[in-house]
Amino acid sequence: MSTILKPNALESESIYIFREVVAQFENPVLLFSGGKDSITLVRLAQKAFYPAPIPFPLLHVDTGHNFPETIAFRDKLVEELGLNLIVRHVQDAIDEGKVTEETGKYSSRNILQTTTLLDAIEEFKFDACIGGARRDEEKARAKERIFSVRDDFGQWDEKNQRPELFDLLNGKIEHGQNVRVFPISNWTELDVWNYIHTENIEIPSIYFSHPRKTFVRDGLIWSASEHVYKEEDEQVLERIVRFRTVGDMTCTAAVESEAETILQIVEEIKLSTISERGARIDDKRSEAAMEKRKQQGYF
């Protein structure tokens, strides 16, 4: 045994962040969507605390409009790793009359997740919510700190963020506030895929090429599903597609793809002329869609 550890800088930074969370907060939670970024977070958390188990639960805010493949994957992962999973449903907030379902052509439950998330934070008194957002995804996210303080309404005060220097993360908060923590802030989409490849991490099948019933609107490929509003004249066809991000069905568009392995996905992304969030219908609403959602407490 005479091996020298030369760290992967990004991985090492993320592990450092996870350990700061556990040391500085009493009641952290990992926001888990079943997408590649939150799956990567789970692996990093495993590494940060090994041989101890991951010392916090996972929270999934289920819109009820998820891809069934993602939910099946989530349950399998939780089972295999013995994780503690909490699920809260957007449908409950709708039933209680707290939020109103959108109607019409672009209706989505994406924005409604915020209420359910904030309710869960209050219910469990979470003081740190770890998420898989990356700064390369979107320009408002590029402004995000690693420890991002939210007030007791869940709001992000983007113009008055806490300075963050060196590795010195300040997680001190008032009772009622919480911190959103982004351990993979500095990773890019390609970094995540390369990591999934080298670490041999399992991911949901919808990331790989498969036939799916879809229709085209505004140049994007939408899933034809009971949850997605469709006009009479929008023609459903079976296409060979995969997904680049996993949100719920109402806000995630598919891309035509033949990629069947992680390496093929990596190659495809390298050649792609469209950004990852170019297929996110939720970002197309306006120039400042993400910033507005974040101000209201969106993850």
Which residues of this protein are in contact with another protein, per CB under 8 A? 1-7, 9-13, 15-16, 19-20, 22-23, 46-53, 135-136, 138-143, 158-159, 161-168, 170, 172-174, 185-186, 188, 190-191, 194, 272-275, 278, 287-288, 291
DSSP class of residue 175?
A: T
Nearer to another protein, 143 or 230 (CB): 143
Sign, CA dihedral 290-293-297-299, equals negative
Residue 259: how many other CB atoms lie within 10 Å: 18
CB of 107 within 8 A of CB of 101? yes
Nearer to another protein, 7 or 104 (CB): 7
CB of 158 within 8 A of CB of 143? yes
CB of 150 within 8 A of CB of 178? yes
Report which residue type is found at 136: D
Reduce the DSSP state of residue 129 to 3 states and report it: strand
Q: In angstroms, rounded to a whole number, what is the distance separating the alpha carbons of residues 30 and 234?
A: 38
Q: How far is the CB of 6 from another protein (least distance, A)?
A: 6
Nearer to another protein, 177 or 205 (CB): 177
Residue 183: which residues within 8 A CB-CB, separation 6 or more?
13, 14, 17, 18, 21, 41, 44, 130, 146
Nearer to another protein, 103 or 273 (CB): 273
Q: How far is the CB of 80 from another protein (least distance, A)?
A: 16
Nearer to another protein, 190 or 224 (CB): 190
| Residue with the two structure tokens 């495993």 | 46
Nearer to another protein, 65 or 280 (CB): 280
Q: How far is the CB of 134 from another protein (least distance, A)?
A: 9
| Residue with the two structure tokens 């915020």 | 114
Q: How far is the CB of 67 from another protein (least distance, A)?
A: 23
Q: How far is the CB of 252 from another protein (least distance, A)?
A: 15
Q: How far is the CB of 181 from another protein (least distance, A)?
A: 14
Nearer to another protein, 112 or 140 (CB): 140
DSSP class of residue 125?
A: T
Q: How far is the CB of 144 from another protein (least distance, A)?
A: 8
Task: At 195, give phi and psi (nearest 5°).
Answer: -65, -45
DSSP class of residue 140?
A: T
User: In the numeric block, which tokens belong to residue 298?
Assistant: 């969106």
